[in-house]
């Protein structure tokens, strides 16, 4: 932000934005946006304040962009130091209906917004300006959607047809090695190289051992426990530089389960297994939607047959009479002692639930840990059908209706050693 200087005419606050630092030059981007803004206000005043966000997507609301939020905050004060706001390009500052929201906030403080597209201040009482803002908002949103579609389609083709490594952390058991010049001639001319996965001489044998033990019928907890007892470094400890967000302390159930579920150990490149959360909410990507290379892209650590066999071991187990084990209250019972969801637990031929208060079989139990909490499903279902679950609702006529009522009302059962109660998810 620049210090205030004496100017003739209006005092302007310049706002600009660049999405990334890896693929865009913030200095260059700021320069051309400011030059465009200066041309818009030429003869009307000068820029006395500057707000420039780096690393923010246009889809992020202004109140969540550091510099944009600072601009809005300063606009509310009498000593703000500017009379109007100017941007270098609509698409750099706004997406969808953001302009109308921001313009309304600024207009309430007597601050106008100047755009290159209107060659001056925007007047939302002017029908032409209103139509232009709608067109610009639609165009900005269309650019986001089009860019996303092109990028996803290109990355899918690169994975399926070329088996290319598209970035990110290599899976435990692999390391990155040079795979030759970049296939794009322009990138190759700049010296960029491809990379591919190659078995890591230290950790690859542990991956093979994990799959072999699982195929032999060993539990995930037993595998994690032995790895810890043998002092094998867990994934985040083996590669701390790429796992700064992990503790690196020890193996746990999830770290072993993630390895057993990763199809890249079969030698095929796989992309889009996970989809990032979007403003509308993320979703689980089904295996049928994954992008999988048509041929082997790197050395395999496990055969495809063994990998498939391991996934079958992880599938739902059946009882002695061949019936699949089903848990009607899965995800609906929380521990009243520690707040965790109870785990489904089949015992004595019937469904039940337990809470070990954060303890798992991969580590020894800490001293003073509360005793495990056990709940029988049949007993709880009987009680549920007899109790009024939600104020104003009638008694559930049967157990299934009680479960459906809990899920539809986003309610959970809080259970401890003395009894249980029904509460909203965010009330626990």
Q: Tell me, yes or no, whether 182 lies in a domain.
A: yes
Q: Are residues 248 and 297 in the same domain?
A: yes
Map residue 420 onto helix, strand or coil: strand
Q: Are residues 88 and 202 in the same domain?
A: no
Give the Cα separation of 4 and 11 in Å (integer): 9
Mean pLDDT by 10 residues, the chain (428 residues): 60 90 77 92 92 88 92 87 91 87 91 92 89 84 79 86 85 90 81 88 94 88 91 86 73 90 92 62 68 91 90 64 72 84 82 82 72 88 70 55 76 84 65
Q: Are residues 81 and 181 in the same domain?
A: no
DSSP H stretches of helix in 19-126 = 26-40, 66-75, 90-93, 98-107
Give the Cα separation of 165 and 159 in Å (integer): 7
Integer-rounded Cα radius of gyration of the chain: 29
The CATH number of the domain holding residue 276 is 3.90.1750
Give the Cα separation of 325 and 238 in Å (integer): 37
Question: Residue 209, Cβ neighbours under 10 Å: how many?
Answer: 15
Give the Cα separation of 362 and 342 in Å (integer): 18
Q: Tell me, yes or no, whether 378 lies in a domain.
A: yes
At 323 the pLDDT is 63
Q: Tell me, yes or no, whether 323 lies in a domain.
A: no
Answer whether 90's CB lies under 8 Å from 113's CB. no
Q: Which domain holds residue 367?
A: 333-427
Answer whether 380's CB lies under 8 Å from 413's CB. yes
At 420 the pLDDT is 86
Total structural domains in the chain? 3
Q: What's the number of CA atoms in the CB half-sphere (13 Å) around residue 29?
A: 19
Q: Is the dihedral of CA 215, 220, 226, 232 positive or negative?
A: positive
Its pTM stands at 0.55
Q: Are residues 234 and 295 in the same domain?
A: yes
Decide which of 139, 163, 192 is a domain's last residue.
Answer: 139
Q: Tell me, yes or no, whether 328 lies in a domain.
A: no
Question: Residue 394, Cβ neighbours under 10 Å: how many?
Answer: 10
Q: Tell me, yes or no, whether 145 lies in a domain.
A: no
At 244 the pLDDT is 72
Question: Residue 89, Cβ neighbours under 10 Å: how many?
Answer: 18
Give Dmax over CA atoms of the chain in angstroms: 89
Name every residue whose Cβ is closer than 8 Å to that of residue 404 and which is 6 or more positions away in sequence.
none
Answer whether 144's CB lies under 8 Å from 103's CB. no
Q: Tell me, yes or no, whether 28 lies in a domain.
A: yes
At 369 the pLDDT is 78
The CATH number of the domain holding residue 81 is 3.40.50.1390
At 152 the pLDDT is 83
Decide which of 139, 154, 184 is a domain's last residue.
Answer: 139
Q: Are residues 20 and 110 in the same domain?
A: yes
Map residue 181 onto helix, strand or coil: strand
Answer whether 90's CB lies under 8 Å from 117's CB. yes
Decide which of 116, 139, 162 is a domain's last residue.
Answer: 139
- How do 411-415 and 420-424 pair as beta strands? antiparallel
Q: Are residues 119 and 202 in the same domain?
A: no
Name every residue whose Cβ is closer than 8 Å to that of residue 232 and which is 6 or more positions away in sequence.
206, 251
330-333: long-range contacts, CB 8 A cutoff, minimum separation 24: 332/403, 332/406, 332/407, 332/411, 332/412, 332/413, 333/375, 333/380, 333/412, 333/413, 333/415
Give the Cα separation of 165 and 298 in Å (integer): 10
Q: Are residues 345 and 284 in the same domain?
A: no
Q: Are residues 133 and 203 in the same domain?
A: no
Give the Cα separation of 112 and 110 in Å (integer): 7
φ and ψ of 336, to 5 deg: -75, -10
Q: Are residues 135 and 184 in the same domain?
A: no
Answer whether 403's CB lies under 8 Å from 328's CB. yes
Closest CA to 377 of 417, 422, 414, 347: 347
Q: Are residues 256 and 360 in the same domain?
A: no
At 395 the pLDDT is 47
Q: Tell me, yes or no, whether 158 lies in a domain.
A: no
Question: Residue 425, Cβ neighbours under 10 Å: how many?
Answer: 11
Q: Are residues 349 and 300 in the same domain?
A: no
Q: Are residues 55 and 102 in the same domain?
A: yes
Q: Tell me, yes or no, whether 346 lies in a domain.
A: yes
At 314 the pLDDT is 59
């Amino acid at each position: 932000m620049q210090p205030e200087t004496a100017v003739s005419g209006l005092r302007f606050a310049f706002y600009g934005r660049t999405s990334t630092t890896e693929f865009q030059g913030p200095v260059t981007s700021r320069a051309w946006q400011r030059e465009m803004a200066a041309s818009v206000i030429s003869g009307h005043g000068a820029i006395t304040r500057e707000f420039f966000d780096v690393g923010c997507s246009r889809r992020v609301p202004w109140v969540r962009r550091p510099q944009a939020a600072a601009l809005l905050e300063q606009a509310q004060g009498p000593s703000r130091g500017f009379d109007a706001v100017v941007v270098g390009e609509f698409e750099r500052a706004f997406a969808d209906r953001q302009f109308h929201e921001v313009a309304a906030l600024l207009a309430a403080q007597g601050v106008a917004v100047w755009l290159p597209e209107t060659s001056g201040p925007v007047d939302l009482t002017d029908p032409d300006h209103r139509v232009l803002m709608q067109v610009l908002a639609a165009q900005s949103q269309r650019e986001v959607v089009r860019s996303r579609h092109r990028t996803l389609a290109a990355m899918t083709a690169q994975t399926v047809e070329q088996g290319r490594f598209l970035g990110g952390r290599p899976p435990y058991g692999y390391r990155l090695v040079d795979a030759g010049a970049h296939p794009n001639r322009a990138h190759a001319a700049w010296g960029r190289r491809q990379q591919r996965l190659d078995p890591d001489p230290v950790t690859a044998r542990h991956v093979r051992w994990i799959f072999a033990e699982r195929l032999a019928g060993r539990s995930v907890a037993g595998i994690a426990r032995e790895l810890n007892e043998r002092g094998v470094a867990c994934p985040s400890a083996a590669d701390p530089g790429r796992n700064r967000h992990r503790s690196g302390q020890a193996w746990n159930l999830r770290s072993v389960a993630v390895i057993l579920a990763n199809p890249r150990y079969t030698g095929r490149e796989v992309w889009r297994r996970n989809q990032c959360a979007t403003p509308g909410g993320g979703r689980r990507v089904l295996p049928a939607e994954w992008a999988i290379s048509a041929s082997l892209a790197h050395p395999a650590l496990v055969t495809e047959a063994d990998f498939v066999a391991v996934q079958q071991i992880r599938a739902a187990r059946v009882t002695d009479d061949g019936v699949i084990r089903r848990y009607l209250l899965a995800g609906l019972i929380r521990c009243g002692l520690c707040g965790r969801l109870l785990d489904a637990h089949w015992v004595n031929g019937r469904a039940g639930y337990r809470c070990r208060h954060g303890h798992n079989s991969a580590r020894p139990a800490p001293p003073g840990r509360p005793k495990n909490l056990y709940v029988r499903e049949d007993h709880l279902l009987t009680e549920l059908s007899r109790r009024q679950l939600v104020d104003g609702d009638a008694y559930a006529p049967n157990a299934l209706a009680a479960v459906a009522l809990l899920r539809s009302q986003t309610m959970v059962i809080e259970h401890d050693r003395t009894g249980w109660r029904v509460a909203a998810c965010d009330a626990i």
